[in-house]
Structures are given as structure tokens and as C-alpha cells.
Amino acid sequence: MHYWVGEPQPLVIAEYLYPIDPTSLLGINGLTELLALDSSGHFLALERAYSPLTKLSANLFQIATASATDTSTLDRLPAQLKGILPIQKQPLLDFKTLKIEITNLEGMTWGPILADGRRSLLIVGDNNFSEGQSTQFLLFGLRQLRQKVS
């Protein structure tokens, strides 16, 4: 949902279809966090999945709303999505490649500028109130991507 926050009141400008990646058998997947990269419709998107077979997994994407179809005038999405362009997604990180056990990743925010000038990104996962899991903080240094999705 793209909206204006200001005077005279908040206003919905547009709504877009966000494609969730499929999961393995018996799994669930969802978008847990969006973080604005700029004011032009570019975001970081954190998706998290769980399956009894594969346990927790997560992926980070860069997304762009520019070419997505505005669906705000539709009462509901049609069964056949022909003609509706979703938000574009570019994979940035599959957390499996870090070769660490991840927790329930569901939040992210900008951290401080690092000593080398890069922007930092902090991703957090909670323990689901379980003694068998831990709360996790992951800090990343980001470099500028050469090409943005548009």
C-alpha cells in the first residue's frame, strides 16, 4: 500500500500485488518487514518461511513498485492475474548461505554509518518466548548495488 501521510489527512495513493515466494511442502512463508531505501518506491523486503521439514529460513530482497499495477480500484484480485504486474523483486541474500542457524527473523532497521562509510543494516529475530530458541541480532554492512530493480 502506497499512502500519503500529511495534511489534510492520510490518503491511500495505490496498492500493489506483492508476490510471496513458494515454500517447501507443508511450509508457510510471509513478508515480515519492509524498509525504505529511498522515496522513489525502492525497499528492502525480509521474507521468512517455516516448514517442519526445513525449519526456519529467510531471504532478503530489494523491491520496486514503479512498474507494478495499481490494484486499489479493485474490490478483490481476480482469480487469473492476467494484466496485473506485481512488485518486482531482486534477491539479495538467502540466509542459508551464511551457514548459521537463524531464529525467527522479523525486523530490520538502519544502523549507524560504518567506519568505512557504508550504511549498516540490523536484522533481528526473536525467540518466540521459547527457551529452546535465542534472540538474534545480525549486523550487515551494505554496499551500493550497481543496478536497481525498476
Is the pLDDT reported for residue 147 higher than 60? no
Per DSSP, what are the bridge partners of residue 42? 64
Is the pLDDT reported for residue 120 higher than 70? yes
Mean pLDDT of 110-119: 94
pLDDT of residue 108: 97
pLDDT tens for each residue of 65-92: 999 999 989 998 888 888 899 999 999 9
Question: Beta-carbon neighbour count of residue 44 at 10 Å?
Answer: 20
Residue with grid cell 495499481, as numbered in its chain: 70
Q: Name the pLDDT band for 145 (thresholds 50, 70, 90).
A: low
pLDDT tens for each residue of 8-61: 887 888 899 999 977 766 788 999 999 999 888 899 999 999 888 878 889 999
C-alpha dihedral (77, 80, 82, 86), degrees to nearest 10: 50
Mean pLDDT of 113-121: 94
**Beta carbons of 133 and 141 less than 8 angstroms apart:** no
Question: Beta-carbon neighbour count of residue 45 at 10 Å?
Answer: 21
Is the pLDDT reported for residue 149 higher than 80? no
